[in-house]
Structure 1
């Protein structure tokens, strides 16, 4: 997630200080990805260093205000016009967890899959309920519309995760069956050879 570009985009509305930016970001995204205030101020310092935002002085209440510069506006325009390309896939804790579990002894992979499927289903049900409530409210505020789109994204992600877990379970059963057949094959062949030798005698 690009905090840098998100903060710049918010500064297009009006100059703001750190806590305002955090509140605006969380309100517009339904608090789905909460920001650490330290991260906000660190990002603002970097934006100022890079000439994309400028310190606009004190607002009279002890808050340091920041405004977007022309270079910052150009950067935001470039960000919105370019597609998001995941050249380096983000770390997926679930995929990492299952990959490691498969390489370690004494772990019940089926139990791990089932526990995750239950949690993913609960998430899906929660997002679906929130989506239904948001749609029923017939909200016309831009922030509410944005929240509905965020919920749709979370629903699709949860559905994809459940489908992937189903795929993992099916693939593992097939793999285990194939492995069991391969292990049994030499034993069967050995028995047939032994029987053949006894008959020839």
Structure 2
């Protein structure tokens, strides 16, 4: 998630101060990606330095509000227009974990897959319960985030099924492979074979 772009998107609604931006961000995402307030203010400092936002008059309580500049509006528009690529996403720890586990001797990779499957299934059940709760808890933004999380959990379960199948197939191939005789010398050709 690009926090700078997220803050720019929120400022498109109008000037806001740091704590307000944090609250709006967490409301829109259902607190799925909580922001540290220090992270918000350091990001605001960089956005101001880069000319994407500018300070506004403080509110009645003395809080510094920020607004988008023309450059900020342009940068935000470019971000929304550009697709997210796999290079933009962080590494997938689960994929790396299972790849390494499958090559590490002495591990029960099936157990690792099963442990993950149980955790992912619980997560999917929790997300499904949230989806079924009555009322408009977070509006459309939260609903879209929740759907993404649910669909990602479903895809992860399908991928874990695939991993389990690949592991079983590899184990079966390993059991049926003939043993390699490393120290046995090749048989000498007999006279009849040599003719």
- DSSP 3-state at the match of 1:67: strand
How far apart, in 1, do the equivalents of 2:8 and 2:124 lie?
Answer: 32
| Alignment match, 2:107 | 107
Q: Which moved more, 1:51-60 or 1:159-168?
A: 51-60
Structure (1 or 2) with the greater helix fraction: 1
TM-superposed CA distance for 1:148, in Å, is 1.2
- DSSP 3-state at the match of 1:90: coil
Say whether 1:172 aligns with 2:191. Answer: no
Deviations 1:28-77 (A, max 9, x none): 11111111111111111110011000122432423221111111111112
Flag as ranges the 4+ runs of structure 1 deviating above 3 A: none
| Alignment match, 1:59 | 59
Can you give the 5+ residue segments of structure 2 that lack an aligned partner in the other structure? 188-195
Q: Which moved more, 1:97-106 or 1:119-128?
A: 97-106
Summarize the alignment of residues 149-168 of structure 1 with structure 2, pairs less than 5 Å apart: 149-168=144-163
Compute the RMSD of aligned alpha carbons: 2.1
Summarize the alignment of residues 43-192 of structure 1 with structure 2, pairs less than 5 Å apart: 43-133=43-133, 136-137=134-135, 139=136, 143-182=138-177, 184-186=178-180
Deviations 1:142-201 (A, max 9, x none): x4122111111111000000001110000011011112222x3547xx9xx9xxxxxxxx
TM-superposed CA distance for 1:102, in Å, is 2.0
Q: How many residues align?
A: 184
Name the TM-score, length of structure 1 as normaliser.
Answer: 0.84
How far apart, in 1, do the equivalents of 2:88 and 2:63 lie?
Answer: 37
Deviations 1:61-110 (A, max 9, x none): 23221111111111112222222222355211111111222222222111
- DSSP 3-state at the match of 2:32: coil
- DSSP 3-state at the match of 1:54: strand
How far apart, in 2, do the equivalents of 1:147 and 1:88 lie?
Answer: 22
Name the TM-score, length of structure 2 as normaliser.
Answer: 0.86
Say whether 1:21 aligns with 2:21. Answer: yes
